[in-house]
């Protein structure tokens, strides 16, 4: 986020979109972008570097993406940082990632706070190292009232686990007599997800060419437009984000209905 824009961050959308690349239509930007940041390992392998160097560069790509999304007036960015399945990676890589998350949080919290980013971590946070849990709690609390972009970091997140958890929470409310089963509708269900209160993503970007959802936001992506790019996540830059947004703006969104012009 350029300093000049930060001061007027929440007052004037015109100022915010001033830096919007010309081909983008400011009226048709996605409100919420989700990203599956894939290809860190391959990026490192192509350079004969250890896999973890790919993750380090991946953090830089995430920072770039957050800045651009914020500068261009996108309301929320949700990134898949660590899945429930990622624990099966080699122990060294898992430890590296946990330490990397701690370092990034420590290093970037001041800037996130100042730049009005509201950060939240979505997933089952209890199995994470205690120090990381403390930093997450601090970052969440210190940015909770920030009025800029919502930055959601999915950590120890799994879409199926999230759905099971929501069903269990609803069942518990029914068992306590607080809720009638007939009152369970899509709104009530969505309110028990980690993403409660956040609009569903309009656009999902997946890097490195894989054509899978990989247990990410299974409920929330119901009507998202998918953009799959061959770019490896550490190389994801402004041009790649612009390409994704232009692809999105070229889509006819019908939400199960019909094209009004066709
Ligand atoms: C997968 O690449 C990517 C990850 C496991 C994400 C790592 C997390 C970050 C870069 C961001 C962390 C950010 C914060 C804010 C704490 P891969 O290893 O699956 O790549 P490959 O498919 O090429 O092996």
Q: What is the pLDDT of residues 74-127, one digit of tens each?
A: 999 999 999 999 999 999 999 999 999 999 999 999 999 999 999 999 999 999
Give the strands of the sheet with 76-83, arranged side by side. 118-122, 150-157, 76-83, 32-36, 203-206, 225-228
3-state secondary structure of 36: strand
Domain hosting residue 107, numbered range: 29-158+202-249
CATH assignment at residue 144: 3.40.1180.10
User: Ligand 1 centroid vs 27 CA: distance in angstroms?
Assistant: 32
Do 219 and 162 form a contact (C-beta atoms < 8 A)? yes
- Reported as half-sphere exposure (CB side, CA atoms, 13 A), residue 220 has a value of 27
Residue ranges, the chain, pLDDT below 70: 1-18, 260-262
Condensed to tens digits (0 to 9), the pLDDT of residues 193-212 reads: 999 999 999 999 999 999 99
Query: Does residue 132 form part of some domain?
Result: yes
Query: Does residue 197 form part of some domain?
Result: no
Testing ligand 1's pocket by substitution, the residue of 58, 82, 122, 215 carrying the most ligand atoms inside 8 A of its CB is 58
Task: Detail the DSSP E strand segments found in 47-199.
Answer: 76-83, 118-122, 150-157
Query: Does residue 62 form part of some domain?
Result: yes
Domain count within the chain: 1
Q: What residue owns the CA closest to ligand 1's atom 4?
A: 81
The one-character DSSP state at 118 is E
Residue 162 beta carbon below 6 angstroms from any ligand 1 atom:
no
- Round to whole Å and give the CA distance between 186 and 71: 33
Residue 216 beta carbon below 6 angstroms from any ligand 1 atom:
no
- Round to whole Å and give the CA distance between 200 and 222: 8
Residue 153 beta carbon below 6 angstroms from any ligand 1 atom:
yes
Name the packing angle between helices 130-143 and 91-114 (round to 10°): 20
- Is 180 one of the annotated active-site residues of the chain? no
> What pLDDT score does 6 carry?
35
């Amino acid at each position: 986020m350029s300093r000049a824009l930060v001061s007027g961050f929440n007052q004037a959308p015109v100022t915010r979109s001033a830096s919007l690349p010309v081909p983008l239509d400011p009226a048709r930007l996605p409100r919420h972008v989700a990203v599956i940041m894939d290809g860190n390992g391959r990026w490192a392998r192509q350079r004969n570097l250890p896999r973890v160097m790919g993750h380090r560069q991946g953090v830089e790509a995430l920072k770039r993406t957050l800045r651009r999304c914020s500068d261009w007036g996108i309301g929320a960015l949700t990134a898949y940082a660590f899945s429930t399945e990622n624990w099966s990676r080699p122990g060294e890589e898992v430890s590296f990632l946990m330490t990397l998350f701690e370092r990034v949080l420590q290093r970037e919290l001041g800037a996130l706070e100042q730049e009005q980013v509201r950060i939240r971590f979505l997933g089952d946070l209890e199995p994470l190292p205690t120090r990381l849990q403390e930093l997450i709690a601090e970052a969440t609390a210190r940015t909770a009232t920030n009025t800029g972009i919502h930055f959601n970091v999915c950590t120890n997140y799994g879409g199926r686990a999230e759905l099971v958890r929501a069903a269990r929470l609803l069942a518990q409310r029914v068992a306590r007599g607080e809720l009638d089963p007939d009152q369970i509708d899509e709104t009530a269900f969505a309110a028990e997800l980690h993403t409660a209160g956040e609009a569903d993503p309009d656009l999902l970007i997946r890097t490195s060419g894989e054509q899978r959802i990989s247990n990410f936001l299974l409920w929330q992506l119901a009507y998202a437009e998918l953009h799959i790019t061959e770019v490896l996540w550490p190389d994801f830059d402004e041009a790649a984000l612009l390409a994704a947004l232009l692809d999105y703006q070229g889509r006819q969104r019908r939400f199960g209905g019909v094209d009004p012009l066709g």
